[in-house]
Amino acid sequence: MNKRSIFAAFPEMPVLLAEAKGKSTNTLLVNGHFHTPFSFSAFTEIEQVFKMAEAEGVQVLGINDFYTTDGYSEFADLAAKYKIFPLFNIEFMSLQKDLQEANVRVNDPANPGRTYMSGKGLSFPFKIGKPEKALLEQVQHESNVQTAEMVEKLNAFLAEINVGFSFTFDELKTRYAKNMLRERHIAKALRIAIDEKISTPEEKKAFYTLVFSGKELKSKLTDFTGIENEIRANLLKTGGRAFVPEDPKAFLSLDQVIQVIISAGGIPCYPVLLDDAKGFFTDYEGNFVKLYETLISKGIYSIELIPGRNTFAVLKDFVTFFRSKNFLITFGTEHNTPQLDPVKVTCSGGVELDEELERIGYEGACIIAAHQYLIAKGEEGFLDAAGIAKTKKYAAFVELGQAVINHFIK
């Protein structure tokens, strides 16, 4: 596996910029946020992402697993093989306790105070300070402790209703995950076990009614995503027989997450929910100006969106506003459910991004590419020594990043 910086053989910046003079400045398609089997993913393997990206014309990809960078080496090797530029990212769930107490929903619509955060453009090979490494290992450990307890409670329930099978944590991790077993892996394992052990559709539906304590399955038996979501809702969420509440130690504060991301060479990035299927916003995001002021007060100058869950009009207004503030903006697909959607980014209903949105997303990827290159060369990236983004140098970072991406691809 690749443990060497992808920028080790790159020329110095003046040469790189000179090399790019007169070359194409066309917008490339970017997917800056997707999960892999190293957390939970619709993809069965990382190479599947690259094969789909190649077929769909996507030339920049951003790995974005929860709590782990374990997929980085394989991701880098595949990027070199397919000549698709790699963005090295990570995602965390943090907790803002003051907002939890005030019942303010941030970017988790069901859990006040819970705040998802991404880190963009981390160092590869991965490097992190000792205190921050301990924090990262803490949340990794606590996440696995919680899911191990879920497996135990699920087994107890399955024994109670005499279904004739059970699971072990190690078995599930080996078959469905890598180093991190997540709630969605458990749901997938149960769905597959039911498919493997019960033959007729009628028996399967009756079995789900039994497992759901009398509730009938709403999804079609061919709708794997729907079934797994129902398993989570009925068994693994609050009130479910296999539910295990998260220990407070499983969450870092927002400040700690930002500290970990910066220590790892990355750029703190706020993932925006924006409008849901009913057109509603969370308390935190409903006022764009207030959200902007809040983010910069916390030292966050980057946002990302998953346009597949947003209407085009709302996305356009929001992105236009934050682009006017020189925010680093990226788009992705997430692929953090069993649903295998295209790798190319689109809005809800499959509505295409327009040229301006695609350009803004590409510029964001260029800034991250430039940041990765500079950090690998031992220089400051998009953040200065105090962790403040160099937003006034937005255009210069885009220019450098474009040169970096083109050099890698061509």
Q: Per-residue pLDDT tens for 86-113?
A: 999 999 999 999 999 999 999 999 899 9
Provide the phi-psi class of 378: left if phi over 0, else alpha when psi is between -120 and 50, else beta.
left
By residue range, what is the domain housing residue 153? Answer: 135-236
**Burial of 243 per CB tally in 10 Å (0-12, 13-18, 19+):** middle
Same domain, yes or no: 114 and 28: yes
Same domain, yes or no: 109 and 166: no
User: Could you tell me the two tokens for 387?
Assistant: 């962790």
Same domain, yes or no: 229 and 207: yes
> Quick one: pLDDT at residue 3?
65
Work out the angle at residue 256's Cα, subtended by the Cα atoms of residues 254 and 260, and round it to the nearest 5 degrees: 115
Same domain, yes or no: 271 and 382: yes
Q: At 1, is the pLDDT very low, low, confident or very high (cuts 50, 70, 90)?
A: very low
Is position 242 within any domain?
A: no
Q: How many domains does the chain have?
A: 2
Same domain, yes or no: 107 and 154: no
> Quick one: pLDDT at residue 221?
95
Same domain, yes or no: 229 and 365: no
Handedness of CA 273, 391, 95, 140 (dihedral sign): positive
- Residues with Cβ < 8 Å from 323, sequence gap 6 or more? 329, 360
Domain at 31, CATH number: 3.20.20
pTM confidence score: 0.91
Same domain, yes or no: 71 and 156: no
Same domain, yes or no: 273 and 361: yes
The mean pLDDT of 155-174, rounded to a whole number, is 94
- Residues with Cβ < 8 Å from 329, sequence gap 6 or more? 302, 303, 304, 305, 319, 322, 323, 360, 361, 363, 364
Provide the phi-psi class of 213: left if phi over 0, else alpha when psi is between -120 and 50, else beta.
left
The pLDDT tens digits of the residues spanning 218-264 come to 999 999 999 999 999 999 998 999 999 888 888 999 999 999 999 99
- Say if CB 13 and CB 28 are below 8 A apart: no
